[in-house]
Structure 1
């Protein structure tokens, strides 16, 4: 049985010692990883969601599954989601909307379908004043599963007994982001679309903050739809029909170097460079600097040249980007098929940033045709 909300809130710091803290100091005992947390006084607000690493935990290869996009079932007027109490604040013309006056946890199935459609249309939604972080792991997973089977991450910290959770954690002693990208960089912006190497890539995604710094720690988002729309008609024609290789190998190799888990063997998957969203029909670029390695059929120099242009186009497009910030109770819902995002690790290491992602997988990408 899942713990109650009151149990989650009263977990002591001693229980935190039973889960992994610093992946570079992993110590395997039977099938569990146990690392002591030295700082017992300043424990996480939600220790139940502390990052957990089990080197013996293994997942089978991902199988292709039948998928129906929830947004295709939605009433375009969204009467179950956009009631008279709901207020929308659009952050830019192309993406990003703040939503207040509705609880995700209280939406019925029709409302969740409408949520999927709104996320596809606006790309990124910031729901304020939510109770989502306090409704318990089973209910959180139940809601996310409405949007597809939840991806179980092959290398990241998860929650003991709940591999569906992808835990994002940073404090004074634990900074895996910096270890991954190295300390010899001027700019730590790293645009990516989550686990785009999967055969069926993520769709409607949930992200909620448990502990946050006083300032900073925002997330940058960009619209891959508007990025595609900015290209010339002739250039669009050249891109449509191309396929790009997305790889999980570097992520797995990094985890191995730190003696971390590789729960599923890394895969490499070809996806259309321009894809179509099943609910809106919009075309979007589907490449990202984090996982896209080459253009299929191009020679190395050709591939590198084209990808560099596209990556620069995405990164420099400040007029189709937003900076999503977090307040207590914020839940960010975005559509991974038509966006890319980057963390902004701009806050002091004296602050803890603790967040959780639930990542439902969607359809095999639909290629665009000219």
Structure 2
């Protein structure tokens, strides 16, 4: 093992002091470069997730976001609708107010990027808990003894990865993480610490669910509001079957509103995705397919409200799964190198639609008028 890192094989899972020391020193960037593939897929089974009351940290934010804007070296919006870079702030050292303000900033901008971050696993988990209960991934690999972390370890030469991706179009990768859960993810934290080379391995974020809603005609908006769609865990059930890895927790199907309201901004967002959304409740299959395929195309072709991010090592992306979709780009296969990182994914509230909520454009227009007065 790398120096200062406890060998996980020597850990007694029932010894809290050993686990704490292991977690405190766990540097996954160092581990992957020393050991290569290290994640585990234990044959354990977790009970179904139970509903809980989610309290969004964004409600405690300063609307001016002063704790972030006054302390950052630079803040730059990458597109008009989605994506912001914050320079000069370390996520490992956020104050309580900065944590709350970050929730509001991400809720407004969809995804926020922090480069040159020193944060490691323990502090990532501590930070994530500020925003909700951590999820255990059903089938993904995680570090030994740390099941709240999902490892992204993609090597171009692995034949099973190439085979699984060969039967789909790159556009099929658009999704919002585990949207089939009763209470899907809110904020998510992804640190990429190893890249396959100078180019390749970008991630697309989009679309802004807010702007996707705003781009619909009034007739479409009226038609969709109040509808529900089934989000299915079939992808993860099939992944477990195809890979032989255990399905460590039930991957359920749940109905969620097609248009949802963000609890902090109060803005309406389109909430369907090709990865997990399967059918509109109460529609025939043909009717449902026609509507969903239109909405998927609307989301995926909205290149003017998407952002494509070119990673640099040790960058952390923080995004809001409630109002964005994302798609990793596997354009580096056939070359050399490894793309590695880890994700922490707190859950949020059960999706809901408030008929009194406003669209992003409506809310910003009203805000602009108030500022003129």
Partner of 2:12: none
Identify which of 123, 129, 147 aligns with 1:139. 123
Are residues 232 and 172 of structure 1, via their aligned partners in 2, closer, same or farther at CA, if it must alter by over 3 Å?
Answer: closer
TM-score of the pair, normalised by structure 1: 0.85
SS at 2:283 equivalent? coil
SS at 1:44 equivalent? helix
Mapped to 2, the partners of 1:192 and 1:176 lie a distance apart of: 21
Residue 108 of structure 1: how far off its partner (Å)? 1.4
Mapped to 1, the partners of 2:131 and 2:161 lie a distance apart of: 28
Partner of 1:7: 4
Identify which of 58, 65, 70 aligns with 2:52. 65
Partner of 1:366: 352
Residue 48 of structure 1: how far off its partner (Å)? 9.2
Residue 152 of structure 1: how far off its partner (Å)? 0.6
SS at 2:236 equivalent? helix
Partner of 2:264: 279
Residue 251 of structure 1: how far off its partner (Å)? 1.6
- Single out whichever of 184-193 and 64-73 deviates more from structure 2: 184-193
Question: Once the two structures are superposed, what CA deviation does each residue of 1:152-181 show, in whole Å capped at 9, x if it has no partner?
Answer: 111111111111111111114436654444
Alignment of 1:237-316 (within 5 A): 237-316=222-301
Aligned positions, number:
334
SS at 2:68 equivalent? coil
Q: Indicate whether 1:159 and 2:143 are aligned.
A: yes
User: Are 1:192 and 1:341, in contact at CA under 8 Å, matched by a contact in 2?
Assistant: yes
Mapped to 1, the partners of 2:193 and 2:262 lie a distance apart of: 31
TM-score of the pair, normalised by structure 2: 0.84
Partner of 2:111: 124
Q: Indicate whether 1:354 and 2:354 are aligned.
A: no
Mapped to 1, the partners of 2:300 and 2:264 lie a distance apart of: 26
Partner of 1:204: 187
Residue 190 of structure 1: how far off its partner (Å)? 1.2
Residue 58 of structure 1: how far off its partner (Å)? 1.1
Is there any run of 5+ residues in structure 1 with no aligned partner, and where?
17-41
Quick check: which one's helix share is greater? 2
Partner of 1:98: 85
Partner of 2:38: 50
Are residues 363 and 46 of structure 1, via their aligned partners in 2, closer, same or farther at CA, if it must alter by over 3 Å?
Answer: farther
Mapped to 2, the partners of 1:111 and 1:92 lie a distance apart of: 23
Residue 240 of structure 1: how far off its partner (Å)? 0.5
Mapped to 2, the partners of 1:224 and 1:177 lie a distance apart of: 29
SS at 1:105 equivalent? helix
Partner of 2:76: 89
Mapped to 2, the partners of 1:361 and 1:304 lie a distance apart of: 28
